[in-house]
Amino acid sequence: VTARARRGIVAAALIAAAAIPLLAQSRAASDKLSSDWRRLSSDDIDVVGNASESELKRAFDRIQSFRSVLHAILPGIRIRSSERTLVYVFRDYGSFERFAPRDGRGRRLAGVGGYFFSNADSNVLALPVFETSEATYQTAFHEYTHYLIDKNNVSSPRWLNEGLADFYSTIEMDSKDKVTIGVVHAGRLRTLRSRSMPPVRRLLNGDSALRLFVGGDTELFYAHAWIFVHYMILGEDGRRGQLSKYLQLLRSSASNEEAASQAFGSLEDLDRDLRAYSRRMMFPALLFNGSFVRAAGSAVQPMLEADALALQGELLANLGDAAAAEKPLEKALTLAPRHLKARLALGRVRVLQERADDGITLLNGVADETPADFAAHFHLASALRKADRFTDSLKEFERARSLNDGSADAWFGGSLVALSMNRDTESEAALRQVFLLDPKPGWYYSHARTALGAGRYELAVRDVRRFLELSGWADESGPYAAFVAVIAHWRLGQKAEADSLLQQAAAAVNPKSWVASVTQYLQGTIADDEILSRAKDGGQRTEAHTYAGMKMLLAGQTDAAVTHFKWVKERGERNYTEHGMALAELKRLEQAR
Ligand SMILES: [Zn+2]
């Protein structure tokens, strides 16, 4: 059996698992149909949700059309992945809101109109139906563009990712196969005309993206990113190619300012041209004619109540909201106690709640019953890793890979476990596989943090160097990755190497930015209380306390360090990489005691 055929079988098994309530004890309860959730499937997409039948069908058709059009006009683009794509369509904003993404402290983000994420076992798009069909599908295409950027390994800064997503979101596809790309985004244009446009520099150096979904500047950030991308792609012949040149230069430049001036020339001229462009009456667009293949899906089908609840719980678990996920999952299990998807998701929820043993028990049960389910074995492997049961974890990651050998996440998990077991050759071989499947530099950064937490300082330094070689200092994560290597160098007694990395970081960042303050703090030019008082929000405080803890440890003040790390554990933002770093230090100190 080839790998491709095997994946087909796994996918079929996953659909079956979701659609059939296995060994239901109370037939009547488990057969109960959902009053408003329905589903529609094709070979690699499932559309589910409480939107109307016609809306689900329209979502399916439009997404299929969108990707076949892009496939036809951007040859070579990868529009599928080995994991299925699950599209949630909510009937209105009110029913979507419960499923809005969470911030690092578990609070729902306001003003999010839809989202995309990708994890080891699925790609997920979540969308509300808005009042106009136009707004709904702009959101759908926006999110689907994020999917394509992710699947095609385009490493791009946040503003470019959003600008491209908006650029393709306004695609118009008429029934006669006429396609228009680059149609003006009316809402973005309105924003631009009612506010004064900030300098492009703020977009490029990441300042504009800092307070997304918390401050009032979210709208302006999106509008600015959209007009910039529109202008670069369609606005002026002389500018064409500058954007890809900039991306290329980002990897080899000392800062994004340097890359920007080489690629775009004078940024003042660019600001002036962009302002003039935004005031135009007419905007260029791209027109395509041709026949685009559109795949057919199944009919819209009713869903079992237990399946619908399991899908809702799974989405909330993916958003990291364990408390909210628990309710629908427990309800699903009341209706169908053996429901596989609900047990799998509840197992993951238990792990999130730091109840690893309960989680492992649930996940073990599901994995035993579904020997061919990739997700079950993958999540069991991850839970075992978290509980430091490395031998068992390694076995499960192997199992997961035998079910989907195209999963970079499963190889990566195996690499991290091998690292924790000091099996370096094995860890390195698995990491090579990860890069063959998914060459994203971010894997090295993540590997480096695990190495630091495991006390493997030479490896941490090596991983950071690889990350910086691939992604460059101008990447938003560049200086933060460097800090991991700085801490590792300190612990290896290599002060000169640490100093040199900090100097490079200082040269790469905007001197007035927060990350510049962190750099100065690590260089020793500002004091402990100063960095803490400069921290303006929960995220910055999470960083400040983590790095303060790291410095205290170096100075031999273990108790003070533990106080900082505990602050992060109890009050820090969970989606910050520093949160994981602080927890790893606490664990390491505990074990050393
Ligand atoms: Zn977006």
- pLDDT, tens digit, for every residue of 450-460? 999 999 999 99
* Rounded alpha-carbon distances, angstroms, from residue 312 to 161, 315, 400, 407: 27, 5, 24, 24
Centroid of ligand 1 to alpha carbon of 141 (angstroms): 10
Beta carbons of 349 and 365 less than 8 angstroms apart: no
- pLDDT at position 18: 33
As a whole number of Å, the end-to-end CA separation of the chain is: 51
| Residue 235 per-residue DSSP state | I
Centroid of ligand 1 to alpha carbon of 142 (angstroms): 6
Centroid of ligand 1 to alpha carbon of 387 (angstroms): 34
Give the mean model confidence (pLDDT) for residues 405-421. Answer: 95
Centroid of ligand 1 to alpha carbon of 271 (angstroms): 23
- pLDDT, tens digit, for every residue of 97-131? 999 998 877 788 877 888 988 888 889 999 999 98
Centroid of ligand 1 to alpha carbon of 113 (angstroms): 9
Centroid of ligand 1 to alpha carbon of 211 (angstroms): 15
Centroid of ligand 1 to alpha carbon of 130 (angstroms): 16
Give the mean model confidence (pLDDT) for residues 527-544. Answer: 94
How many residues does the structure list for the chain?
593
Centroid of ligand 1 to alpha carbon of 143 (angstroms): 6
Q: Which two tokens stand for residue 70?
A: 């892009």
Secondary element (H or E) of residue 437: helix 424-437
Centroid of ligand 1 to alpha carbon of 462 (angstroms): 33
- pLDDT at position 474: 77
- pLDDT at position 293: 67
Centroid of ligand 1 to alpha carbon of 99 (angstroms): 16
326 or 509, greater pLDDT: 326
Ion ligand 1 nearby residues (CB, 5 A): 162, 165
Centroid of ligand 1 to alpha carbon of 139 (angstroms): 9
Q: What is the mean pLDDT of the chain?
A: 89
Cα gap 341→18, rounded to integer Å: 6
- pLDDT at position 311: 98
Centroid of ligand 1 to alpha carbon of 119 (angstroms): 17
pLDDT over 50 (residue 449): yes
Give the mean model confidence (pLDDT) for residues 64-93. Answer: 84
Give the mean model confidence (pLDDT) for residues 259-273. Answer: 95
Give the mean model confidence (pLDDT) for residues 313-322. Answer: 95
- pLDDT at position 26: 47
Centroid of ligand 1 to alpha carbon of 135 (angstroms): 14
Banded pLDDT at 424 (limits 50, 70, 90): very high
Cα gap 144→208, rounded to integer Å: 23
DSSP of 541-593 = HHHHHHHHHHHHHHTT-HHHHHHHHHHHHHHS-TTSHHHHHHHHHHHHHHHH-
Centroid of ligand 1 to alpha carbon of 272 (angstroms): 26
Centroid of ligand 1 to alpha carbon of 160 (angstroms): 10
Centroid of ligand 1 to alpha carbon of 290 (angstroms): 28
- pLDDT at position 216: 64
DSSP-H helix ranges across 195-339:
200-204, 218-230, 242-250, 256-264, 267-278, 305-318, 322-335
Centroid of ligand 1 to alpha carbon of 184 (angstroms): 17
Centroid of ligand 1 to alpha carbon of 165 (angstroms): 6
- pLDDT at position 248: 87
Centroid of ligand 1 to alpha carbon of 116 (angstroms): 8
Centroid of ligand 1 to alpha carbon of 140 (angstroms): 10
- pLDDT, tens digit, for every residue of 170-211? 998 877 778 899 999 999 999 999 999 999 998 888 777 766
Give the mean model confidence (pLDDT) for residues 546-562. Answer: 97
- pLDDT, tens digit, for every residue of 132-158? 888 888 888 998 898 888 877 666 788
Banded pLDDT at 13 (limits 50, 70, 90): very low
Beta carbons of 221 and 159 less than 8 angstroms apart: yes
Give the mean model confidence (pLDDT) for residues 252-265. Answer: 91
pLDDT over 90 (residue 357): yes
- pLDDT at position 337: 96
Give the mean model confidence (pLDDT) for residues 254-266. Answer: 92
- pLDDT at position 381: 98
Centroid of ligand 1 to alpha carbon of 123 (angstroms): 15
Centroid of ligand 1 to alpha carbon of 161 (angstroms): 7
Sheet holding 115-118, edge to edge: 115-118, 122-128, 84-90, 45-49, 33-41, 301-304
Beta carbons of 320 and 109 less than 8 angstroms apart: no
Give the 3-state secondary structure percentages of the chain, helix then strand then coil, rounded to 5: 65, 10, 30
Centroid of ligand 1 to alpha carbon of 188 (angstroms): 13
Sheet holding 286-289, edge to edge: 172-173, 178-181, 286-289
- pLDDT at position 14: 27
pLDDT over 90 (residue 466): yes
